[in-house]
Amino acid sequence: MRIPGVWQWLPGIVTARLQELVNWGRANSLWYLLFGLACCAIEMMAAGGTRTDLDRIGSVFRASPRQADLMIVSGTVTEKMAPVVKTLYDQMAEPKFVVSMGACATNGGPYYQGYNVVDGVDKIIPVDVYVAGCPPRPEALVHAILKLQDKVRRIGVAHEA
């Protein structure tokens, strides 16, 4: 019996590579860990707000690193906070991804070579996407997550040139 509605226009069998299906699911559900380090965190919170609304691209915040697969490093990484950032990263489940948001997280920004500032969070954890600016606008963070989605979709999938 045919089910009425849109289903009658779809084929009975759809083929896809498992890796691409998994990547599709992961790319569209990048849940980010809710923590902020400095002023960039305000822009991150704004990105989750009604104007840019990260939820619509599948990114919602989680208050536990064990339920998050995206770390947005939003702000200055001080020497004091660096071990905490590393611990939170280690507690996240694989596969996990990192966005370095703003000049401070990327290379220390205005505090470059300051005695108490790590000159780039990539000195302690691997970074997938960097966002320029001081501070970057929420739209820039949305763009970075869309770029990360592209990257996640390509994991383990060979593309023809």
Binding residues for [4Fe-4S] cluster: 39-40, 104, 134
Angstrom distance (rounded) from CA 144 to CA 101: 9
Give the phi and the psi of residue 140 in degrees, each rounded to 5. -65, -35
State which amino acid sits at residue 72: I
Tell me whether residue 83 or residue 110 sits nearer to ligand SF4 (CB atom).
110
Tell me whether residue 27 or residue 121 sits nearer to ligand SF4 (CB atom).
121
Task: For residue 135, state whether it binds ligand SF4 (rule: CB under 6 A).
Answer: yes
Task: For residue 138, state whether it binds ligand SF4 (rule: CB under 6 A).
Answer: no
Tell me whether residue 23 or residue 106 sits nearer to ligand SF4 (CB atom).
106
**74: closest CA among 109, 44, 33?**
44
Angstrom distance (rounded) from CA 98 to CA 82: 14
Q: Which of residues 57-96 bind ligand SF4 (CB under 6 A)?
A: 75-76
List the 32-33 sheet strands across, edge first. 61-62, 32-33, 70-74, 97-101, 129-131
Instruction: Out of 70, 104, 144, 145, point to the residue binding ligand SF4 (CB under 6 A).
Output: 104
Tokens of 11: 């084929």
Binding residues, by number, are 39-40, 104, 134
Q: Which of residues 106-125 bind ligand SF4 (CB under 6 A)?
A: 109-110
Tell me whether residue 92 or residue 141 sits nearer to ligand SF4 (CB atom).
141
Angstrom distance (rounded) from CA 53 to CA 45: 10
Alpha helices in 48-136 (DSSP H): 82-91, 102-107
Tell me whether residue 59 or residue 100 sits nearer to ligand SF4 (CB atom).
100
Selected range binding ligand SF4 among 33-41, 63-71, 85-93, 152-160, rule: CB under 6 A? 33-41
Contact residues toward ligand SF4 (CB under 6 A) are 38-40, 75-76, 102-104, 109-110, 134-135
